Amino acid sequence: MNWNVRIGINPISWMNDDLPALGGETLLETALAEGKEIGYKGFELGNKFPKDGPGLKAKLDEFGLACVSGWYSGFLAEVAPGQSHANAVAQEVQRCQAHMSKLQYNGARVVVYGECAGTIQGSIETPLAKRPHFATEALWIAYGERLNNFGAHLQSTYGITLAYHHHMGAYVESPADIDHLMAVTDPKKVALLFDTGHAYFGGAQDPVVMLKKHIHRVVHVHCKDVRPTVIAQARNDGWSFLSGVINGTFTVPGDGVIDFESVLGTLKEAGYEGWLVVEAEQDPAVAPSYVYAKKGFDTLHAIVQSLNRSH
């Protein structure tokens, strides 16, 4: 029986939201047309997409593409002095309405939750070593409870699952952080977005080990490859996350060292049926968008075809 997955892509191969100078002049329609031509079935969202549900659907329909999901910048890791935990969640519930309604209208089943409280991922001046940490177990537990409450709201109101994106420069970056997050959250309310590139950069020399550990929580997958020599330099020289991106820490599947045959084989064996999303922050002037997007698609598509033939 064929494996029920679809291959999508994030527009970051063409245009970067965090660094608008990278591909800033590229039209959204260019990315959508090229992605469709290559063979992608859908796109994750970026800043150039229509902001309302019907407008977004109309634009994607023009190219016969699905809405895979979209990044949501959450701010639940830190609570303001004097603010109750319930009020912090209520604020997030209010703030997320437009985004979640847009995803719901377009049939997305998961939301990419990126924790942005205290994050340094968007600061080109701040070295990764300065990222935030939870100082006590009590702070971890309280954070987990807020995420549980928010995740429960997304499910009951929008039918959308919170897919937590572990990310360089944020509270949850390393394999130990991910273990901790999974321990303090309810599997029925908070799921995991597994990102191969961030897993490797965050310290998982073999991302498959981490994937197997938490496979039952994974509902969304970002497929990016890595250039280990650049990552080592980023760590040794105290680079920021964005400096690493500019210098090529990430690339598309098939252009680095991550064993995507093992990654996809593990997902298939576990019964994963979500999206496989190519997402590789690079400078399009150095890594031409179409060429690299095609390489990423061809790599994943060939592995999926091979897995289907072998079972």
CA angle 183, 185, 188 (to 5 degrees): 120
Structural domains in the chain plus CATH codes = 6-310 (3.20.20.150)
Q: For the chain (length 311 residues), average pLDDT per consecutive 10?
A: 92 75 79 97 94 98 98 97 95 98 98 97 94 97 98 98 98 98 98 98 96 98 97 96 92 97 98 95 83 97 95 64
CB 251 within 8 A of CB 280: yes
Residue 128 backbone dihedrals phi, psi, to 5 degrees:
-60, -30
- The DSSP output letter for 42 is E
The answer to whether the CB of 161 falls within 8 A of the CB of 190 is no
pLDDT of residue 161: 98
Q: What span, in angstroms and rounded, lies between the C-alpha atoms of 187 and 300?
A: 28
Nearest in space to 132 (alpha carbons), one of 95, 172, 171: 171
pLDDT at position 200 is 98
pLDDT of residue 90: 98
pLDDT tens column, 41-78: 999 998 899 999 999 999 999 999 999 999 999 999 99
Token representation of residue 273: 């049926």
Model confidence, pTM: 0.96
Instruction: State the pLDDT at residue 285.
Output: 78
Cross-strand pairs, 194: 221
Contact yes or no for 18/54 (Cβ under 8 A):
no
Paired tokens of 226: 């890595």
Residue carrying structure tokens 């020599």: 229
Residue 192 CB contacts under 8 Å (≥ 6 apart), including other chains: 163, 164, 166, 178, 182, 214, 217, 218, 219
Q: Which string of DSSP letters, residue by residue, matches 162-196?
A: EEEE--TTSSS-SHHHHHHHHHHS-TTTEEEEEEH
| Phi and psi angles of residue 145, each rounded to the nearest 5 degrees, phi first | -70, -40
What is the per-residue pLDDT for 280? Answer: 85
Q: Which residue has the tokens 């079935």?
A: 41
pLDDT given for residue 22 in this prediction = 63
pLDDT at position 287 is 83
15 and 305 Cβ atoms separated by less than 8 Å: no
